[in-house]
Amino acid sequence: MTSKILASDTARFVPAFVRDPVHTAAVAPSSPALAAAMAASVPGTGEPTVVELGPGTGAITAAIQRRLGGRGTHLAIERNPQWAALVQERFPGVQVVLGDVADLLGILADHDVDPADAVVSGLTWAAYHGRFVAELTEVLAPTGVFSQFAYAWARRWAPPARAELAALRRHFSDVAISPTVWHNVPPAVVYNARGRAVGPCREALQRRATGLPVTFLGFVADRPTVARLPAPGPHETFGLAAIEALACGTPVVASARSAVAEIVGPGCGALAHDTEDGFVRATRTVLDVDRQVSRQAASARAELFPWSNAIDGMLAALGA
Ligand SMILES: C[S@@+](CC[C@H](N)C(=O)[O-])C[C@H]1O[C@@H](n2cnc3c(N)ncnc32)[C@H](O)[C@@H]1O
């Protein structure tokens, strides 16, 4: 966005703020620096689905469009009719919906929007309430990210801003806070929230596990982290993790000394000696198998281990 447009948009914000301070919530559009920091959560490859909340006059919309460079889909929801029309005129490639994010799920269903890879919010805390944050986790794809800015001065001191951050932390397993973007009026930070698999029992489970060598990871969204996690080792006795992976068509590499050795079959996994080198070699064996073939072999193998077999086996072992 050019500095001329930025200046004329600032002139639009002041009267809008005077008319509706709660929803406008700012006296100037986001700066290019803040807009770029917000748009950075949009995937840089593929055909992402992006949902933008409260585009205003389009400062963040412009940064998202630049990052997309013609890829994917971009839907923006704005409640101010003049600004919705302005953004639609400025960005014909964006699907602008005149509406209220209070009806987020309804709007996305009406427009047949895929699970979002990124939800980028230009709303300030005034638009927040618990239900809205909970809905975000339904709108996002499992690996999706929710980006929201917060004014740096308010983040630590203003109770609503603290409540907002607490709500994000309750509903997402990972909330990253950017360094302060000083080139914005006022300076702001960006929250990037990911990972929705924090179940309702997590807090209770964590309390019960206090003092035990247990780490709660929540939903792990990025592949390198998943790859670093240990495969089922010698202490895995039941094998559910392996059966679930096979049922999804994912081959399994496991310790040859573990009970999982009974579950892994030819073509759908490999057993490893308990050394780094052993696991590397076993993983290479699996990667050498054609992906389609190993996928089919994995799900066929999982079919051999239904719950009924587990229960029959357990009752037999108990002599029941
Ligand atoms: C702080 S301004 C941000 C505008 C723009 N994203 C930016 O960063 O310059 C907030 C915007 O959200 C819109 N908005 C506020 N509450 C909304 C709601 N419940 N539904 C849709 N839009 C809303 C306002 O009309 C305004 O355009």
**Are both 283 and 179 inside the same structural domain?**
no
**Are both 166 and 120 inside the same structural domain?**
yes
Q: Give the ligand 1 atom nearest the CA of 122.
A: 6
How far is Cα 191 from Cα 45, in angstroms, rounded to an integer? 21
The verdict on residue 75 lying in a domain is yes
Give the domain-ending residue among 136, 168, 194. 194
Per-residue model confidence (pLDDT) at position 220: 67
Apex CA 36: angle with CA 32 and CA 37, to 5°?
Answer: 120
Under DSSP, is residue 256 helix (H, G, I), strand (E, B) or coil?
Answer: coil
Do you know the residue count of the chain?
Answer: 320
Q: Give the ligand 1 atom nearest the CA of 26.
A: 1
Tokens of 226: 């998943």
How far is Cα 24 from Cα 56, in angstroms, rounded to an integer? 8
**Are both 104 and 242 inside the same structural domain?**
no
Give the domain-ending residue among 148, 173, 194. 194
How far is Cα 22 from Cα 16, in angstroms, rounded to an integer? 10
CB atoms within 10 A of CB 276: 9
Q: Give the ligand 1 atom nearest the CA of 23.
A: 15
The verdict on residue 219 lying in a domain is no
**Are both 186 and 51 inside the same structural domain?**
yes
Under DSSP, is residue 270 helix (H, G, I), strand (E, B) or coil?
Answer: strand
The verdict on residue 215 lying in a domain is no
The CB of 58 under 6 Å from ligand 1? The reply is: no
The CB of 103 under 6 Å from ligand 1? The reply is: no
CATH classification of the domain holding 268: 3.40.50.2000
306 lies in which domain range?
230-317
**Are both 184 and 282 inside the same structural domain?**
no
Cα-atom radius of gyration of the chain, to the nearest Å?
24
Domain count, the chain: 2
Task: Return per-residue pLDDT of the chain as tens, 320 residues.
Answer: 566 666 678 778 778 777 887 777 776 789 999 999 999 999 999 999 999 999 999 999 999 999 999 999 999 999 999 999 999 999 999 999 999 998 999 999 999 999 999 999 998 765 555 567 878 878 998 889 999 998 887 777 777 778 888 888 878 878 999 999 999 988 999 999 988 656 667 778 888 989 988 887 776 666 777 777 766 666 666 788 899 999 999 999 998 888 888 899 888 999 999 888 999 999 999 999 999 999 999 999 999 999 898 888 889 988 87
The verdict on residue 38 lying in a domain is yes
Prior bond of 186 cis (ω within 30°): yes
Output the residue whose Cα is nearest ligand 1's atom 15.
23
**Are both 57 and 108 inside the same structural domain?**
yes
**Are both 122 and 258 inside the same structural domain?**
no
Under DSSP, is residue 231 helix (H, G, I), strand (E, B) or coil?
Answer: coil
CATH classification of the domain holding 107: 3.40.50.150
Output the residue whose Cα is nearest ligand 1's atom 4.
56
Output the residue whose Cα is nearest ligand 1's atom 8.
30
**Are both 182 and 279 inside the same structural domain?**
no
Cα four-point dihedral sign 281, 282, 288, 291: negative
How far is Cα 203 from Cα 315, in angstroms, rounded to an integer? 33
Per-residue model confidence (pLDDT) at position 163: 81
Output the residue whose Cα is nearest ligand 1's atom 9.
29
The CB of 79 under 6 Å from ligand 1? The reply is: yes
**Are both 256 and 120 inside the same structural domain?**
no
The verdict on residue 81 lying in a domain is yes
Residue 260 Cα to ligand 1 midpoint, Å, equals: 52
Give the domain-ending residue among 194, 220, 246. 194
Q: What is the residue whose two structure tokens read 């807009």?
A: 35
How far is Cα 68 from Cα 242, in angstroms, rounded to an integer? 38
The CB of 29 under 6 Å from ligand 1? The reply is: yes
pTM over 0.75: no
Task: Note the maximum CA span of the chain.
Answer: 82
**Are both 38 and 171 inside the same structural domain?**
yes
The verdict on residue 225 lying in a domain is no
Determine the residue of 12, 31, 79, 128 to mutate for testing ligand 1's pocket, defined as the one with the most ligand atoms within 8 A of the Cβ atom: 79
The CB of 150 under 6 Å from ligand 1? The reply is: no
Long-range contact set of residues 244-248: C-beta below 8 Å, sequence gap at least 24: 244/302, 245/298, 246/298, 246/299, 246/301, 246/302, 247/298, 247/299, 247/302, 248/298, 248/299
**Are both 238 and 299 inside the same structural domain?**
yes
Residue 61 Cα to ligand 1 midpoint, Å, equals: 12
Alpha helix positions (H), the chain: 3-19, 21-24, 32-39, 59-68, 81-90, 104-110, 130-139, 152-157, 159-171, 202-208, 223-228, 240-247, 276-288, 291-302, 307-317
Q: Which whole-number Å values give the CA distances from 254 to 82, 145, 275, 300, 307, in the listed order?
A: 60, 32, 11, 18, 21
**Are both 50 and 171 inside the same structural domain?**
yes
